[in-house]
Amino acid sequence: MTHVLAIDIGGTKIAAGLVADDGTVSHDREVPTDARDAAAVAAALAGLVDDVVGDALAAGLSAADVADVVGIGSAGPVDTVTGTVHPVNIVSLRGFPLVEHVAAHAAKVLGRPARARLAQDGQCFAAAEQWIGAAQGSPSMMGVVVSTGIGGGIVLDGRILSGKSGNAGFISHVGVVLDGELLPGSGASGVVEAYASGPAMVRAALAQGWRPGERVDAKVLTADARDGDPVARAVIAAGTRALASAFASSAALFDLSDIVVGGGVASAGDVLMDPLRRAFAEFAVYPHLADVRLTPSALPRGSGLVGAGRLGWTALAG
């Protein structure tokens, strides 16, 4: 049975594993991300490939059971033309020849030529949800990760929408319509991430007198909203309205069937999803928008490997 080697690169960890054609992940490993030292990142990537393939061979697979395509999902922006990435929070990877390095080391381990395919982590999240998650089989869907920032990807007719540089679906900088509303303290500049990310909503709540002097984060904010705190509820309502505006614009542009929401903030469940659905219904003024399904992620936080594996499987299919 063939498996695809998948790599998921984030600000805190780099993970790798083998992904089967049903989305099952095996022999996965992870290491901390060194955000400052490019040589350390290069060594970590090589070590992960060595360990994952080594584990698989020890378990009875042969090198021929591992495909010659590696799927890589990374924090973005990415540059699929040059095979590099330029993430805001991983200085060590900016301009690093990621695709070339991974492909060369995979070829060395497998004993035959190998290639690598790169996509944004938000695109990999979307691909995973469309493959085996909440939007399984959807003909047109968007996956959105709401966390420290807001990322996303779009899958049309079973394929990740890439764009000229590999950054299609970069929803964080979609402009939003809020009828002149402004979240106090958010530093909002008219784009959805400035209103609806975890830190933006926390800043807005603090500016309105919520939990003064305390060390707080989005988890505390959503917990307080669940307990009925009026400031927390109002801020989340405004943030999800901004998110719904961006969703409605994207759904209109791409004629989406599904939007799947994941990430740390989205794990709050109905505290976020209920006001998000209500706000989206206000913006969805046409029937083909009103029937767009908004659902929370059905996959664990480790779905980045599943999406990177899907990228590899799609490349194998031509």
Supply φ then ψ for residue 16, to 5 degrees: -145, 155
Residue 128 is assigned to a structural domain of this protein: no
Q: How far apart are CA 315 and CA 318, in angstroms?
A: 5
The answer on 194 and 86 residing in a single domain is no
Q: What's the confidence (pLDDT) of residue 191?
A: 86
The answer on 291 and 312 residing in a single domain is no
Residue 256 is assigned to a structural domain of this protein: yes
Residue 172 is part of a domain; what is its CATH number? 3.30.420.40
Exposure b/e, 45-81, CB count within 10 A at least 16 = b = bbebbeebbebbeeeebeeeebbbbbbbbbbbebbbe
The answer on 166 and 225 residing in a single domain is yes
The answer on 143 and 106 residing in a single domain is no
Q: What would you measure as the largest C-alpha separation in the chain, in angstroms?
A: 62
Query: Residue 35: exposed, middle, or buried by beta-carbon count in 10 A (0-12, 13-18, 19+)?
Result: middle
- Domain carrying residue 56: 3-120+308-316
The answer on 148 and 102 residing in a single domain is no
The answer on 111 and 255 residing in a single domain is no
Q: How far apart are CA 87 and CA 64, in angstroms?
A: 34
Dihedral sign of CA atoms 93, 15, 115, 158 in order = negative
The answer on 279 and 182 residing in a single domain is yes
Query: Facing residues of 3 across strands?
Result: 66
> What is the crossing angle of helices 121-132 and 303-316, to 10°?
80
The answer on 288 and 149 residing in a single domain is yes
The answer on 275 and 141 residing in a single domain is yes
Q: How far apart are CA 2 and CA 312, in angstroms?
A: 12
The answer on 144 and 289 residing in a single domain is yes
pTM: 0.93
Residue 129 is assigned to a structural domain of this protein: no
Count of domains observed in the chain: 2
Q: What's the confidence (pLDDT) of residue 186?
A: 47
Residue 267 is assigned to a structural domain of this protein: yes
Q: What's the confidence (pLDDT) of residue 222?
A: 95
Q: What's the confidence (pLDDT) of residue 179?
A: 60
The answer on 91 and 7 residing in a single domain is yes
The answer on 89 and 159 residing in a single domain is no
What tens-digit pLDDT sequence spans the chain (318 residues)?
799 999 999 988 999 999 999 999 999 999 999 989 999 999 999 999 999 999 999 999 999 999 999 999 999 899 999 999 998 789 999 999 999 999 999 999 999 999 999 999 999 999 999 999 999 999 999 999 998 889 999 999 989 999 999 999 989 888 886 665 545 444 446 789 989 999 999 999 999 999 999 999 999 999 999 999 999 999 999 999 999 999 999 999 999 999 999 988 778 889 999 999 999 999 999 999 999 999 999 997 778 999 999 999 999 987
